[in-house]
Amino acid sequence: MEKSPSGIKLESWLVLAGRASEPGAPLNVPPIPASNFIIGNGREYARGDGTPSWEALEDIVGGLESGRALAFSSGMAAIAAVFDQLSAGAVVVLPDDCYQGVASLAAAGAERQRWSVQRVALDDTDGWIGACGVADLIWLESPSNPLLTVADLETICAAPRKPGAILAVDNTFATPLNQQPLDFGATVSVQSATKFIGGHSDLLGGVATTRDEALWQALKQSRTLTGATPGTLEAFLAVRGARTLALRLQRAQQTAMMLAERLEAHPLVSRVRYPGLPSHPTHAIARRVLKGFGTIISFDLRGGAEFADRVCQNVRLVRHATSLGAVESTMERRAAIPGQEHLPPSLLRLSVGIEDADDLWNDLDSAIRSAAS
């Protein structure tokens, strides 16, 4: 693993960071449900000044990405704070395949004539290089949701940009352990802490990390003015979840690779999208820019939407649920979600958890074969 700013490996940083060091202090920063503080040490009101609970999370993620982090109430709140930096008439460039929340936010702003939106295929590196010269916000998501395209961040982030442009990367699927966008030259990296950072399907949270002090201050102002602050319990849970991120990711990635290979050979599966497979269109890029291939698999069944729905209903160990990045495996048909109708109707997105690999395979195989009978 790469090393943190303190010189230790990132897996050790996850355990060490965000803790008090003075004698007599609790080993873990406890939840601090305080809205205001006794005046005198620079901390007066939580919305603007933060709390130790939030700061522990920010220390962890900021160290993972070698930047300065800000915690938000959700991933979308962190994303909205980045969009909030745009001036009227700005040009926003999005991937053709990206998180529906981002697409909806961008579309809503375009309807109000706050900015214009262009879309570029995520694997069109030349298109992104060209966009860097005209866009005020270059928004990349890699691997993408749910088609798992991997962008050539190394090349795109090195391209000349319009002065003042922000190049943002949604790093949720990769996590800071598999990819560090700021090292490539991105302006800001955004995580949905709801997913892998928290890892237990029990919180909403987001984190934005940057090395640009002026942008950090502007994002903090946006958080303060909009009230997009994290909850005390949520921040505490995110910190606790982050401690085991390296272990969870390692286990789930190993299982995901095995499942992807078996699904690719399954007679009732027509296509598997997983960056670790040589058949994946951006596999060569993934090998170069990612330290691991992640825990998300998207696969198409040889059948229509109804067949895919039956598979989701038949699983027993895998949970038929949305979201991803948790200890439990979850699966859903993405085209059933409003705004995602353009996706293949039988595409299932599987988030691999930490269950036994053979148990997961037996569950998937049984569910697919039962749905076909």
Instruction: State the catalytic residues.
Output: 47, 99, 170, 195
- Provide the 3-class DSSP secondary structure of residue 53: helix
Give the phi and the psi of residue 329 in degrees, each rounded to 5: -80, 135
CA distances from 2 to 55, 70, 141, 209, 350 (A): 23, 22, 22, 17, 28
Encoded tokens for 242 = 């982050």
Say whether the peptide bond before residue 146 is cis (omega within 30 degrees of 0): yes
Q: Which residues does 117 contact at the CB level (< 8 Å), separation at least 6? A: 92, 93, 94, 106, 107, 109, 110
Helix 245-264 vs helix 357-372: crossing angle, to nearest 10: 40
Token pair of 365, please? 């195989």
Cα radius of gyration rounded to whole Å, the chain: 21
- 49 residue type, one letter: D
- CA 77, 82, 87: angle at the middle one, nearest 5? 125
Tally the residues of the chain.
373
C-alpha distances out from residue 340 to 96, 151, 251, 305, 331, Å: 12, 21, 30, 13, 15
Tokens of residue 354, six digits: 């930490």
- 112 Cβ partners below 8 Å, 6+ apart? none
Strand, coil or helix: what is 96? coil
Instruction: Name 200's Cβ contacts closer than 8 Å, sequence gap at least 6.
Output: 237, 241, 326, 327
What are the helix (H) ranges across 88-139?
A: 100-111, 125-132
Beta partners for residue 210, in sequence order: 68, 188
CA gap 201, 328 in Å, rounded: 9
